[in-house]
Homo-oligomer: A and B are copies of this chain.
Amino acid sequence: MAETNLQVLLRRRPQGAPVPEDFEIVERAAPEPAEGEVLVRAAYLSLDPYMRGRMSEAKSYAKPVALGAVMEGRTAGTVVASKAPGFAPGDVVAGGSGWQRFSCVKAAGLIKVDPAEAPLSANLGVLGMPGLTAWVGLEDIGQPQSGEVMVVSAASGAVGQVVGQIGRIRGCKVIGIAGGERKCRYVTEELGFDACIDHRGDLAAQLDRHCPEGIDVYWENVGGVVQAAVFPRLRDFARMVMCGVIAQYNVAEGSDSFGGAPGPNLGAVVRKRLRIQGFIVSDNGWPRYPQFRREMLGWMGDGRLRWREDVVEGLRNAPQAFIGLLEGKNFGKLVVKID
């Protein structure tokens, strides 16, 4: 007898910032796995800024979620039934099963994890897509060298907190940028960044104070005024890792859904030999997941890598939590505890 499924659907496409009415919460019978599929009961859902892009029809790197369909997202949970070799009831898994309690997932879309290695929810953050994003972006683009200066925007967020700590492990001086005193204190006191700047203050002056020598690696999660303050302070041969521009995601949809405001004059890119490069972790990140996980578990084990989660109780609260994420209201990796 099928259990009751709870799902969050996309009801309509947001105009600017999403509102609760853009989502619809429904109860349905849980599905049955087809051949090659696994029925997963999700315990945690990951909420991440990229989901704003999936709600939009604007051209992007991935297809939008269809109207009336379940919102896309990664979860961590337990196998309930399996029609795929290699998976059995009770296995702990992470994968892209969406904003819902039960889902049938193809085996290729699941990672089996050892629950003894880390708390279940960590598989969505520090050991999940955001952690992998940080690791891959630094491996492929940021390439931090000992003695360099790294600046990380959205430093207390899911990706930023990992980026900065890897920067420290690699021997960089790491300056975070975050919203508000509480987050900044967390970034320095708990995560061990060398300093953290409140973006609500005078960014330029604070950057000059903390990075008088300039910036070698800038991790871009934000865009907008933060980017404008950092860009002129990049040093020769600096790398700008373009991971996201959350400040621009809620710009009302027009000719360019990511905001048509101008960016920096690129003359400095020649003069300073800058490298500005964007990436999406799903392009080439997952095949490297085992190597990433091994390295991260090592750092977590010896206390060099810490993380913070912002846990929201109940899938019905996911829309409001996601809306808050885009406004910077979360504090740490945002996850939903489904039941």
Contact = CB atoms under 8 A, between A and B. Distances in A.
A157 to B, nearest CB: 15
Contacts of A261: 265
Interface string A260-280: 111111111111111111111
A273 B223 contact: no
Interface residues of A, number: 37
How many copies of this chain does the complex contain?
2
Contacts of A248: 265, 267
Contacts of A53: 271
B276 A265 contact: no
Interface in A245-289: 245, 248, 256, 258-280, 283
A269 B262 contact: no
A216 to B, nearest CB: 15
A276 B280 contact: no
Contact of A266 (B223, B271, B272, B275): B223
Interface string A202-244: 0000000000000000001001000100000000100000111
Interface of A is mostly: loop
Contacts of A267: 223, 245, 248, 256, 258-259
A245 B259 contact: no
Given A259-B267, A263-B265, 5 more contacts: A220-B266, A256-B267, A264-B266, A273-B278, A273-B283
Q: Which 8 A-B pairs have the closest CB atoms?
A: A258-B267, A262-B262, A269-B278, A270-B278, A276-B276, A275-B277, A242-B269, A263-B266
11 contacts: A242-B269, A245-B266, A248-B265, A248-B267, A258-B267, A263-B266, A264-B266, A269-B276, A273-B277, A274-B278, A277-B277
